Structure 1
Amino acid sequence: MAETGGFPSRGVWRRPGLRWVDVVVGAALVALLYGLLRLAPSLNAPFLPKTAPSTVSTDPSNLPYYAVRSLVRMFAALVVSVVFTFVYATAAARLKRAEKVLLPVLDILQSVPVLGFLSVTVTAFINLFPGSELGLECASIFAIFTAMAWNMTFAFYYSLMSQPRELDEAARVLRLTKWERFWQLDVPGGMIPLVWNGMMSFGGAWFFLAASESISVLNHTYALPGIGSYAAAAIAQGDLSKVGIAIAVMVVMVIGVNVLFWRPMVAWTDRFRVEESEAAERPRSLVLDFLRRSQVPHLIGRPLKPAGRWLDRATRPFGLAEHPIGVSPVRERTGDVFFAGVISVLVVYGAWKAFGYVNSTIGLGAFGHALALGAATFGRVVVLTAVATVVWVPVGVWIGMNPKVTRFAQPVVQVLASFPANFLFPFATAAFVALGISLNFGAVLLMALGAQWYILFNVIAGASAIPSDLREAMTNYKVGGWLKWRYFILPAIFPSYVTGGITAAGGAWNASIVAEVVDYGHHHLSATGLGAYITQATATGDFPKILVGISVMSLYVVAANRLFWRRLYGLAETRFAL
């Protein structure tokens, strides 16, 4: 037999050789792992609460190290937020009885400000890791997590609730397990809003980075190395030049994260769009194209495939995805009485203990004072939400429905949304002082800098997720003007807008913590509001006032969500779901 007879030519089965793309990707991965290993010992540095430094060095040469420390905290909080989102949102959507508990709890958690969590968790984490800075690191990461998780959870929950019925039926016809359904239907179906809201939550967390790295509780300040604590120290010194340097470094960080992480994620998630015709213009990412040309991701993912198949088999005894979202009225009524009774008992007991504690310390009259302050902050939140809706809904639709515009506008929007606006507070303070503007009015602008982007990002996500075939139908029928907005665009983006609105309102309440009290050098401005009340109580370690402030803020947020936003959610689910 000839050398080539009966067998393929030599070299057909040979694996492709090592390419320069693989070398670059592999080197980048090795460099990342090396950097994390070098950074790990500093996370577990010795730490004594009584002698811990209350500030960090403002030498600009430390900024690269500070930036890396901040990025590690941000991405650690993002990972925890994604895990929390998957578990919590899925439980709320699939377990209808538990939903009656989980959604109100999520409303309350969203309403609790970052400083409220810090006042409780810092001491707990420090005691969990005695003598180590790891406890303070965990407290900082947890604070950043609380600024990320709620928006992502609301977005993923709604994507589950608005899932197309035919996909739900297909999962049951194919006899997918609950585990298979989650990864093959639920996660892909919610990936577009999850990524956009994750990007917005990541940007919103930058806003609270200074409060998370320079923690002031119990009349003591703990400072962790980071870009946020550097900015806080420069602001306290009144050094605008160093604040400007921190701003420049932050812009570089935001653009770098957008180019290397979020832009590839947006381009990758476009594969999960539900539509019958392909869009003429798709999101692109040079980084994603580069990774697709490399064999390194495939080599890393190959060992994980057997584990995935094993999990598919292992989870089959736990049941198939037989039931669609929603349960019969009989089953729903059966659980209502029990859960209503449990919730009532817990609420009554908790309220009784809280009232007793407050009454024995500062008196119940503190609640009336806090309610009056909350009304002032509530007015600012309403004004902010209304103005942000009028301004950013048209802009978000324009960006989301034009992929070419999205390609150029997304980095700009990401920088604006991710940039911690409290870095600009010193300049705003100087302007308010020079112009004689009261912080009672200026606080609305400061709160808007951190909260308005939730509406913009959700509207962009909703507009970009509109199927191309529906857009083409509107074009073919020559529908335009107000008619197109009323019967096509506004109904299509309404569910996303509701998610953006509820999280923007919650973000505005949270932003009031840092917007109603502004310090710069020897200038101290304070507005009349609940945010200033909680900030001052946290700084002095006044737990009764902290409890009163957080309780009243939770009351306002939960009442607004129950009476207004939840009704809009119901309207979105029944009338405007594809």
Structure 2
Amino acid sequence: MSPIKLTTAKSPAGVRAGRGLTWVDLAVAAAVLVLGYLILQVGKGTTVNFDPADVADVDTDPARLPYYAARSLLRMFIALAASVLFTFVYAYAAARSRRLERILIPALDILQSVPVLGFLTIAVTGFIALFPGSLLGLECASIFAIFTSQAWNMTFGFYQSLTSLPRELDEVSRSFGFTRWMRFWKIELPSGAIDLIWNGMMSFAGGWFFLVASEAISISNHNYALPGVGSYAGTAIGEGDLGKIGWAIATMALMVIGVNFFFWRPLTAWAEKFKNEQSESTDVQRSLVLDFLRRSHWPQLIGRWTAPLRELLACAGRILGRDDRPLTVDPVRRRTGDLVFAAVAVALIAWGVYDLLRYLADEKGLGVFGEPLLLGLVTLVRVLVLVAVATVVWVPIGVKIGFSPKLAKTAQPIVQVLASFPANFLFPLAMWVFLHTGLDINIGCTLLMALGAQWYILFNTIAGAMAVPSDLKEAMDDLGVRGWQRWKRLIIPGIFPSYVTGGITASGGAWNASIVSEVVTFSGTTLSATGLGAYIFHATEDGDFPKLIAGVAVMSLYVVTLNRVLWRRLYRLAETRYAL
């Protein structure tokens, strides 16, 4: 077995381990204190009194945009933290337990297929009841909606990383007797760090895309609004005020660029240390913020202060035991356990389906499924066309960016802005184009759907290309492998697992984006396409819960079927044939 090392990026020139605090340490400490103070000040507005029957309109004065931007950023990062925690627990459980995998992965398919508006319908009512008389209930509902637009993509990506872990690393962890805790932090998490960060970046962009829907909520002819850039833009679009829409677009662009510079760029540069390669790349990503932080002594000090906590976690890991699986399992016992587990799961699912069908039969009759089933076929065609075109267009571009750190440095903020741009902000332009060119909304809505779905393929392709070891690329260069042979022998096998993750999440994202793309509204004018997304949108707006449930159930059926027929088979191919 050849030696494997995780390369560590070099510290910037001039960085030395000093003993006393420097001006860099003071600057970092001041920045953290200011950030904490701003979070506390902005957070005060989340617990004010709130009456669901009398919600104040959003103030569209541009001077309020800095405060609205801070409120939106706070929601986004809280949702991101919850998504990361969910990803670790859910993906690890699915990857390490065959029994749980049979339940969790199909369930994840269903969760991915449920639109944000479907979650909001339940979340708003539930959280308002949980926090009566406080705006915190509506805040939690909004954060939960953003969470649902972020978590599934990250979970699929990390699950793929765990299931395609290089065999050499797996053997090393077992030969050294690593505990499950040590295996996770020393082997599995570093191995999937690059994919996790790029999927987190894409998921964050997905949260921006649905910001309007999560901050300006319309359910059962009742409007709820929270202070934020999304609700500001939604109000400006409803008023038809192009000037205020322009201010919202400028604010969104500044927020995306700022988050990229201060958060995602340092993370992607830091993740270079986790590349699985035998020779260190001579050209790595750099970040001014990361270089500045590396000159600070705070990481070392924090490491010393948290040593007791790390030791406590290590002890907990030892209590859990070594990560050994029994070499032999009693076939009869295993078969009996699987049958019992399957019987319980099937019984619970059957009971839930029966209760749902009984409710729909009493309210509308089972014929309520007929219309969404037919409309779903129309949206399915749009989704397949979108994924196919996005693959042809963005995979070569993603490979080019991922193979060139210099190009990635320039392209990353541009891609972030494009991926993060909510389709709702372009409704005025889209409406103008549709009306003045005669473009059918049934065709135009596919372009709007692409704004929220195609980037999953691009981001995952970039992540897959960046994770390809430098020594493999250098070997191909030395052997003179070019053109199609290079794609066949290096690029496709290297990026295939990441592409499958991008494809399955792009497909689910396209279904979700259809709800805000098949109905375009601006200044009192509404254009509605034929499709399942428009069906769900109108059912949500009208408060028709039987039709909403039927629409969401049919969308889930289409997504799960597509995943099982196509994407799940590609996942298995990635695990068995294209694992590094």
Q: For the superposition of Structure 1 and Structure 2, which TM-score range results when normalised by the shorter chain?
A: over 0.9
- CA-CA distance at 1:343 after TM superposition: 2.6
1:525 maps to a residue whose letter is L
Q: Could you tell me which residue of structure 1 aligns to residue 6 of structure 2?
A: none
Pairing 1:551-566 to 2, within 5 Å after superposition = 551-566=553-568
Task: State whether structure 2 residue 377 is matched by structure 1 residue 358.
Answer: no
Correspondence 1:437-516 to 2 at 5 A: 437-516=439-518
Counterpart of 1:22? 25
Percent identity, please: 61
Counterpart CA distance in 1 for 2:18 and 2:488 is 56
Q: Does 1:48 align with 2:51?
A: yes
The count of aligned residue pairs is 564
Tell me whether 1:415 sits opposite 2:417 in the alignment: yes
Which among 506, 528, 539 is matched to residue 537 of structure 1? 539
- What CA deviation, in whole Å up to 9, does each residue of 1:519-575 have, x standing for no partner? 000210001111111111111211101110010000000000001100000011111
CA distance in 2, matches of 1:271, 1:419: 30
- Could you list the runs of 5+ residues in structure 1 that have no partner in the other structure? 1-13
* Cα distance in 2, alignment partners of residues 474 and 232 from structure 1: 51
Partner of residue 87, structure 2: 85
| Shift in Å, 1:507 | 0.3
Give distance in 2, aligned partners of 1:460 and 1:332: 41
Q: Deviations over 1:133-176 (max 9, x none)?
A: 00000000000000000000000001000111121121122222
Q: 2:42 aligns with which of 39, 42, 62?
A: 39
Question: Partners of 2:62 and 2:328 in 1: how far apart?
Answer: 56
Return closer, same or farther for 1:410/1:367 CA change in 2, 3 Å cut-off: same
> What corresponds to 1:5 in structure 2?
none
**One-letter amino acid of the counterpart of residue 462, structure 1:** G
For residues 236 and 18 of structure 2, the distance between their equivalents in structure 1, rounded to whole angstroms, comes to 56
Contact 1:117 1:143 in 2 (8 A): yes
Which amino acid counterpart does residue 233 of structure 2 have in structure 1? A
Cα offset for 1:326? 12
Task: Give the conservation status (yes or no) of the 8 Å contact 1:110–1:150.
Answer: yes
- Secondary structure, in 3 states, of the residue corresponding to 1:215? strand
Instruction: Write the distance in 2 (CA, Å) between the matches of 1:292 and 1:249.
Output: 30
2:393 corresponds in structure 1 to 391
CA offsets 1:380-404 (integer angstroms, 9 cap, x no match)? 1011000000000000001001111
Separation (CA, whole Å) in 1 of partners of 2:465 and 2:332: 38
1:56-97 deviation line (CA, Å, top 9, x unaligned): 011000000000000000000000000000000000001111
The answer as to whether partners of 1:238 and 1:520 remain within 8 angstroms in 2 is: yes
Q: What is the CA distance between 1:278 and its match in structure 2?
A: 0.8
Q: Of 168, 171, 179, which aligns to 1:166?
A: 168
Return the match for 1:150 from 142, 152, 155.
Answer: 152
Change (3 A) 1:153 1:332: farther
User: Which amino acid in the other structure matches residue 132 of structure 1?
Assistant: S
1:216 pairs with 210, 215, 218, which one?
218
Tell me by how many angstroms 1:372 deviates: 0.3
Pick the aligned partner of 1:341 from 332, 340, 343.
Answer: 343
Matched ranges for 1:96-245 at <5 A: 96-245=98-247
Shift of 1:330: 7.1
**Structure 1 contact 207–419 (Cα < 8 Å) conserved:** yes
1:320 aligned residue: 322
- Which 5+ residue runs of structure 2 have no aligned equivalent? 1-16
Amino acid at match of 1:191: A
3-state SS, counterpart of residue 38 of structure 1: helix
Paired with 2:529 and 2:332, the residues of 1 have a C-alpha distance of 51
SS of equivalent residue, structure 2 residue 145: helix
Q: Secondary structure at the match of 1:358?
A: helix
Partners of 1:328 and 1:474 in 2: how far apart?
A: 47
The one-letter amino acid of 1:388's match is: A
- Looking at structure 1, the residues matched to 329 and 560 of structure 2 have their Cα atoms a distance apart, in angstroms, of 25
Aligned partner of residue 48 in structure 2, secondary structure:
coil
Structure 1 letter corresponding to 2:472: L
What is the CA–CA distance in structure 1 between the aligned matches of 2:24 and 2:474, rounded to whole Å?
Answer: 38
Write the distance in 2 (CA, Å) between the matches of 1:321 and 1:140: 39
* Cα gap change, 1:116 to 1:331, in 2 (>3 Å): farther
Q: Residue 329 of structure 1: CA displacement?
A: 7.6
RMSD in angstroms over aligned alpha carbons?
Answer: 1.6
Q: 1:130 to 1:326 in 2, by over 3 A?
A: farther
TM-score normalized with structure 1 length: 0.95
- Secondary structure of the 2:217 match is strand
Residue 370 (structure 2) aligns with: 368
Amino acid at match of 2:485: L
Any idea what SS the aligned residue of 2:277 has? coil
Specify whether residues 235 and 327 from structure 1 end up closer, same or farther in structure 2 by C-alpha distance, changes over 3 A only.
farther
Residue 426 of structure 1 and its aligned partner are, at CA, apart by: 1.7
Structure-2 separation of matches of 1:86 and 1:328: 31
Asked if structure 2 preserves the Cα contact closer than 8 Å seen for 1:161 and 1:325, the reply is: no
Contact 1:66 1:225 in 2 (8 A): yes
**Cα shift readout 1:434-457 (whole Å, capped 9, x = no counterpart):** 111121111100000110000000
| 1:575 alignment partner, one of 552, 561, 577 | 577
What does 1:276-315 correspond to in 2, within 5 Å? 276-315=278-317
Note closer, same or farther for the CA distance 1:375–1:332 as it changes in structure 2 (3 Å cut): farther
**Post-superposition shift, 1:301?**
3.5
1:300-356 alpha-carbon deviations (Å, 9 max, x no partner): 343212101111013312211113999998776444322322232222222211111
Contact 2:423 2:517 in 1 (8 A): no
